Chains A and B, each alone.
Chain A
Amino acid sequence: MSTAKPTSGADKAAAESSEQYLTFMLAGEEYGVDILRVQEIKGWDKVTRIPHTPDYVLGVINLRGAVVPILDLRRRFGLETIAFGPTTVVIVVRVMSGRDERTVGVVVDAVSEVYNVDAADTKPPPDVCGNVDTVFVKALVTIEEKMLILLDIDRLIGNSIADELVPGAAVA
């Protein structure tokens, strides 16, 4: 929770100042996540699979004693899957799921840059936005002639987990 506070503070401050986004590549498009949510970036490593989970949940890893789930963002967006290569990385982010903060790793094709994004430059997402369902898109921004898709990771990842809670509970 404590780590979430500066983030929400930053959200409020976004109106007048710029925010930093870490961007990554996924199927040729560049996406950004709030850098304050990023805990670390690590290479792809073997995971322990979890039964009865959707295909985009690759499994769990041991992150310094914590059991952390790893999600495949390509599968989450319903994109064509590729073999993991040398640039494949896991971005470990902290997301809010319901009232709890969770640490989750997402597998992306490659990390790209860190950009300062001025809140004034962002535009709301159009109805159709690249390969992604627009509910997960916070905003679009053009930087250096490129379009960045800024993701709302709480919705994207937090809900991915929370949505599953309901059918999971019914099975139990």
Chain B
Amino acid sequence: MTLDLEMAEIAKVFFQESREGLDVMESGLLSLGAAADSENINTIFRAAHSIKGGSATFGFAEVAGFTHGVETLLDEMRNGVRPVTAEAIQTLLQACDCLREMIAATEAEQPLDQVRIASLNGDIKHILGEASEAPAPVSAPALAAANEAADAGTAGEPGGWRVRFEPVADLLRLRNEPTRMFAELRRLGAMVAHADASRLPPLDALDPESCYLSWDIDITGQIPRGKLDEIFDWVDSGCRLEFTPTGRSAPAAPAPGAKASAQPQAAAIDAWSAETKAVSPTEAKAAASADADRGAPAGAAVQKASGDSGSIRVATEKVDNIINLVGELLITQSMLSSFADGIDPNDLDRLRQGLSQLARNTRELQESVMQIRMLPISFAFNRFPRIVHDLSRKLAKKVELKLSGEGTELDKTVLEKITDPLVHLVRNALDHGLEIPERRVAAGKRETGTLELAAFHEGGNIIIEVRDDGAGLNKAKILQKARERALVAPDQELTDEQIDNLIFMPGFSTAEQISDVSGRGVGMDVVRRNINDLGGHVQISSKEGLGSTIRIRLPLTLAILDGQLVRVGKEIYVISLLAIVETIQVARERLNTLVGRTEVFRLRDEYLPVVKLCDQFGVEPDSRSAEDGLLVVLEADGKRVGVLVDDLLAQQQVVIKSLESNFKSVAGIAGATILGDGTVALIIDAPGLISSAAEQGVGAAAAHAA
């Protein structure tokens, strides 16, 4: 079947929808294992049904045939005829995979994996054949086969078809248009239609919206049966359709009357459409509302079936374009504001007013545009039930997967890039973290291990945690390995946390046996690099025998941040407002110097280290003394520090520009931005600053406590 361009476009949508449908089926099937409620089966069934319907429409007979078998099985489950067994679920899951491949192959116009299809078809038939002699599953592929046979068979003969088409009276209300179907048929070959008006009632009893005509259609040419099916596909329910192949001589028989009879047919159709037009307005309205009544639930069903939360598909490119424009707009706006600050005539008020409105509009526009890119993390989480299901079977482990915070939204780019690292972490947790049931029982734990994936907001970040209650990291082994590989100096003392985080070093893997699941030693460092590339951080904490928690912190978005401008000497830096807890002036009596070096200050009940930006960044400040400046209290990963600056300036939204694109990444700097006066200001990497300062501070604070 050759698709013309328009069809190719629609087919693309079908492929996309089929994939989504398969995702729905898969997640439904996985949750079936726990509870076989009929609503769930219904959802799966509907998804399968849509795929079947769509693939038949587009003439992908093999996909349709295969899905039919799946659908039959699901239908029987839905009706309670068939028990929901683990075996059936497994087969259906495999069928989903197979369908995914079939759809991919069809889209790429490549041959299908017939062996796999046949074997799965056999499996499905086997399940179906056990308790019922339902002919449907057998007939479905058979039907497809027959269609193909017909396709192949008719290819050689120049015959034709006689089609008897008796539509239901509702045909027109179901929004089918026979004239259009005739036009389609005419494209296939020479067509002659005989209208049969015998069912036509007297004019006063005639309902203008009903279809009373039926047709005998003779069509000549080498036409595969499949083509005819396609045309009548939408009307076949309830309509009587008969296809009779006609031989070489057959078309000749009605030929003499052909021209003559075509005219009356056309006339009949014209007359009938004229009647339709003649409907009185009230009647039309009534009919329309009836249509609407019928339409509404149907529409609802469609929406439900696609399992979609009313999303639209937008090309990322377009959105990116808008985001860039909004970024420029922001720069212009801040340029205007700084211009307004510089001049002083009296009508400045109106300019200021206009500017504040511009600022508000810009901000709103930016927020709504950014929202377009935000997707719930369930897009990444959804694949895990399947991965865990398959892997735990393979590794003979019992695992319960808990997901939470699936609705947490994050930037599409971040989401796409975080998926692979997450898969890696989950596989690692299953392979290395969780133990086999016997060992768990021996350790006095529940036989079934728990793997938790949680996403939530914390400050301006998204936190994703992968928690398992497995064996935890073997610190001694890690340290030994790290020393063997000279990643750690022999005499170097490390904290437990530092040891755990050694697994993120390049070329580190403690797996004694390299499995195909994990353990090639290229994993965790790549995970960390990917996350760092996204501006995020990853950390692991682990208790031997109790399990591990991997914590990923990601920025909400990569493009714009709410910044606080601070001044140190002549330099201006930007700090993300989300990292700032408060800003304080500190009196001398609340400042202490510990161990002669680290300065700390008391904030309520806490001692926090003072980070002097002037020392960190080597700039000349107004004053080095913490009591003269301001301390900006920053928080990240539960740690707080006070950053000493000379002055606080404006708060404004800044567009994040990468330093790496023309230079390289710099410790303590998250990026750069362009201020209203056109100069570049550096954006401070608050988490980086805090963790490096906290490391120095922890020792000091401990010393102070002692």
Contacts and interface: CB of A to CB of B under 8 A. Distances in A.
Contact of B664 (A47, A66, A103, A161): A161
Contacts of B658: 67
Contacts of B617: 49, 51-52
Interface string A148-172: 0000000000000110110011011
B616 interface: yes
A104 B679 CA distance: 17
Interface string A96-131: 000000111000000000000000000000000000
B674 interface: yes
A14 to B, nearest CB: 27
A168 B666 contact: yes
Interface string B669-703: 10010100011111000001000000000000000
Given A67-B672, A168-B667, A48 B662 contact: no
Contacts of B616: 51
A53 B659 CA distance: 13
Contacts of A169: 665
Contact of A48 (B667, B668, B682): B682
How large, as a class, is the contact surface on chain B?
A: 20 to 34
Contacts of B666: 50-53, 168
B667 A171 contact: yes
Nearest to A169: B665
Contact of B657 (A66, A165, A171): A66
A62 B663 contact: no
Contact of B618 (A51, A65, A103, A104): A51
Contact of B682 (A50, A104, A162): A50
B166 to A, nearest CB: 64
Interface string B120-143: 000000000000000000000000
Interface in B371-402: none
Contact of A67 (B618, B619, B665, B680): B680
Contacts of A59: 680
Interface residues of A, number: 29
A139 interface: no
A67 B664 contact: no
Contacts, number: 80
Interface string B634-670: 0000000000000000000000011101111111110
A48 B663 CA distance: 13
Given A62-B674, A66-B657, A67-B658, A48 B664 contact: no
B571 interface: yes
Given A67-B662, A68-B662, A168-B665, A60 B618 contact: no
A94 B669 CA distance: 24
Contacts of A57: 663
B663 A46 contact: no
A53 B532 CA distance: 20
Interface in A57-74: 57, 59-62, 65-69
A48 B573 CA distance: 10
Given A164-B664, A165-B664, A60 B659 contact: yes
Query: Does more than half of chain A's interface fall in helix, strand or loop, or is it mixed?
Result: mixed
Contact of B661 (A52, A61, A66): A66
Interface in B468-490: none
B327 to A, nearest CB: 9
A62 to B, nearest CB: 5
B680 A48 contact: yes
B667 A52 contact: yes
Contacts of A161: 663-664
Contact of A172 (B328, B659, B667, B681): B667
Contacts of A172: 532, 665, 667, 688
A146 to B, nearest CB: 33
A166 to B, nearest CB: 10
Contact of A62 (B532, B679, B688): B679
A92 to B, nearest CB: 10
A62 B331 CA distance: 12
Interface of A: 46-53, 57, 59-62, 65-69, 102-104, 161-162, 164-165, 168-169, 171-172
9 contacts: A46-B679, A50-B663, A51-B669, A52-B668, A60-B659, A66-B657, A102-B663, A161-B663, A161-B664
Q: Which 10 pairs show the lowest CB-CB distances between chains A and B?
A: A51-B617, A48-B680, A69-B663, A171-B667, A67-B672, A102-B662, A67-B657, A62-B674, A60-B680, A62-B680
